[in-house]
Amino acid sequence: MKLDKFNLENKNIIITGAAGLLGFEHTVALLNCGARVIMTDIDLKKLNAIKKKLLIKNKLHRIDCYKMDVGSEKSIQNIIKVLTKKKIKIDVLINNACLNPKYSKNFSNFNNKLENFSINTWNKEILIGLTGAFSCSKIIGTYMKKNKTGGVILNISSELSIISPDQRIYISKKHANVKPVTYSVIKTGLIGLTRYLATYWLKENIRCNALSPGGVEENQSKEFKNKIKKLIPMGRMAKKNEYHSAVQFLCSDASSYMNGQNMVVDGGRSIW
């Protein structure tokens, strides 16, 4: 069976927050389909380390790394100037950057309770996760309009865009922290942004969809994993590479008739 529609050769894809766990996995998924991946993040040192690691496995991978702050429109515009000078078009934008305190041994250091949640933290997290996606869509999307073949915008949302966080899984004997309000607001807001963008640039053949993944098993405590597994029909969290196919589908012509949708891949958690 031919899978030509998943072929991303000659496609240039820019990812924000590419130094993070899912940013890395998105990069691997797209490289495996032949894409040229432009990794951006505020941590350029980590990006270059990731690039080196990926090139060791496959020297033919095409990877560019740029320091970019999605919270600064000037920073985004500077990247566009560089790409314009190098005559590199953008076929796909993945809005992946987000500030998300991970549930780990350090999670108890965060003060996320609504009663104590500071306006400064609110503004900072909204700036990166939601305003940043808007700014990138506006600036990079405008650049993408020049393409004769159009393009794709993919917003990385979360299962928490359609359900509320179950705060019981975050409370333990050691601490009583919660998932921050900003995360739910940002991820829900991204769905609204997706719908808006899906119709805004239709004449330019730019589609926009969202991917809402469930939690990825990483270094969470055994107590946390046991709690969350009970909320998921498949009885487990996602493996870090289990979103590869979804990203490949949403960024390629395989999803050519899909627009303005939110693809939920959460092991069934949101249906219970």
* pLDDT at residue 102 in the model: 61
3-state secondary structure of 6: helix
Rounded CA-CA distance 186/162 in Å is 12
Rounded CA-CA distance 180/234 in Å is 26
Is residue 193 within 8 Å of 181, Cβ to Cβ? no
Cα distances from 196 to residues 51, 136, 158, 261, in angstroms, run 34, 14, 18, 11
* pLDDT band at 90; cut points 50, 70, 90: very high
Of the listed ranges 1-5, 34-38, 181-185, 186-190, the least confidently predicted one is: 1-5
Q: Copy the structure tokens of residue 121.
A: 């933290």
In one letter, which amino acid is 54? L
Residues in the chain: 272
**Residue labelled with tokens 């933290």:** 121
3-state secondary structure of 9: coil
Strands of 90-142 (E only): list them: 92-95
In one letter, which amino acid is 173? K
Residue 70: phi, psi to the nearest 5?
-65, -15
Instruction: Sketch out the chain's domains with CATH numbers.
Output: 4-100+128-164+180-215+244-271 (3.40.50.720)
Structure confidence by residue, pLDDT tens digits, 130-140:
999 999 999 99
Cα distances from 272 to residues 55, 153, 226, in angstroms, run 42, 30, 17
Is residue 97 within 8 Å of 156, Cβ to Cβ? no
Is residue 63 within 8 Å of 15, Cβ to Cβ? no
The count of C-alpha atoms lying within 13 angstroms of the C-alpha of 51, restricted to the half-sphere facing its C-beta, is 18
* pLDDT band at 126; cut points 50, 70, 90: very high
pTM: 0.95
Is residue 212 within 8 Å of 264, Cβ to Cβ? yes
Is residue 177 within 8 Å of 110, Cβ to Cβ? yes
Is residue 262 within 8 Å of 212, Cβ to Cβ? yes
Is residue 35 within 8 Å of 12, Cβ to Cβ? yes
**Residue labelled with tokens 């899984």:** 169
* pLDDT at residue 45 in the model: 98
Percent of all residues in the chain with a pLDDT value above 70, rounded to a whole number: 94
* pLDDT band at 103; cut points 50, 70, 90: low
